[in-house]
Amino acid sequence: MQHHENRLWKLLALKLSGDATLDELSELFNYLEQYPDEKRIAESIEVYWNQQNNQANINDEMEEERFHLIVNAESEEEVKKENNDIVPITSYVHKAKFRWMYAAASVVLILGLFFFFERYHSDHSELSSQKGIQQVFVKPGSKSKIILPDGTIVRLNGSSKLSYNSDFNKSVREVNLDGEAYFDVTKDANHPFIVHTSNIDIKVLGTLFNVKSYEQDPTIEATLLRGSIEVYTKDDPSAPKVILKPNEKLVFKKNQDDNTPEERRANTDLTKGIVLPDGNISISNLPHNKPDSTKEEISWLYNKLVIDGDDFTKMAKKMERWYGVKIEILSPGLEQYHFKGIFKNETIGQALDALQLTVKFRYKIKDDVIEITE
């Protein structure tokens, strides 16, 4: 950073709180024009500030920390008011100070997200820019968190890549995803947010949802937690859009020819009043009797690997991404078995040892390759 003694962020906080003088606003403007990189960060902070103050949305550990900072600050002011005779003009000063403290806390915490990402992605993900396209790639066995130019927060799971054009947010906010990501989208009715995957496009205005779209997987999954999303099939523009409601999960099967006759008949039926295009989309509800941290679709956000009835191949693919290893199943007979389990802090060896309690198999670890046999 180019600024000295945090002067830039103090000026930005004063602007956000509405307490900046004309001279301070001029100083801030001139500084940001001189340093474009810091201007980009300042603009993102301002967008995020506006979003959070237009709707109460404490859904993140950083936001919760900011919430407690502000509540504590407000409580201190109330104590002072109770213990002192305060005339109206002093009361106004206290309110102005509160606005300043709120803005300052916001700037510091949002900056923390930026600094965390800059420090974190150097070890766990790669950031690149080519021909006007920004790309973030997260290594296997890692996770990362970024803030897009509009203030949208994206959490990326292992082996995931997210890219977007440098003119993002000028008309339509578009990103391309290969992998798994959780989106907390900044609401902006004038600039729709679209997630492009290999086979489907997902359009939103402002919402919380998870998308799992790995190139190697036979399916694409979209899970909605809050708000509304519209799903479009790429290879059939005439197909009707599918609208998801909160706590619904959409599964798109890339190759319908792999469906069994029963699956094909079921997928041509009405599901919640929606005709599923080409029979390759199904919709289900998330279980209501499970906490979010144990729901397979979003458990990775809580640093939990959930195995819920997966066969050996599907489980192996999950573990490869989770631990950053390569798993080779050398005995075809193992494919008949299914597993259940939840892992958080276990090593790959400890996880496999636990799974051996239900199914007899052997494994051998050599560097980052694991061979599994009967």
Decide if 210 contacts 298 (C-beta within 8 A): yes
Three-state SS at 185: coil
Cα–Cα nearest to 158, from 293, 314, 319: 319
∠ CA 170-32-69 to the nearest 5 degrees? 90
Instruction: Decide: residue 225, CB within 10 A, 0-12 exposed, 13-18 middle, 19+ buried.
Output: buried
Q: Which tens digits make up the pLDDT trace of 132-190?
A: 788 889 988 888 888 888 888 899 999 999 999 888 877 889 999 999 999 999 888 88
Backbone angles phi, psi at 299, to 5 degrees: -60, -25
Q: Which tens digits make up the pLDDT trace of 52-108?
A: 555 444 344 444 444 344 334 333 444 444 444 433 333 333 444 455 555 555 555
Interatomic CA distance for residues 305 and 141, integer angstroms: 11
Mean pLDDT across the chain = 75
Three-state SS at 341: strand
Interatomic CA distance for residues 178 and 161, integer angstroms: 5
pLDDT band at residue 15, thresholds of 50, 70 and 90? Answer: confident
∠ CA 190-192-194 to the nearest 5 degrees? 165
Interatomic CA distance for residues 358 and 355, integer angstroms: 6
Backbone angles phi, psi at 198, to 5 degrees: -65, -35
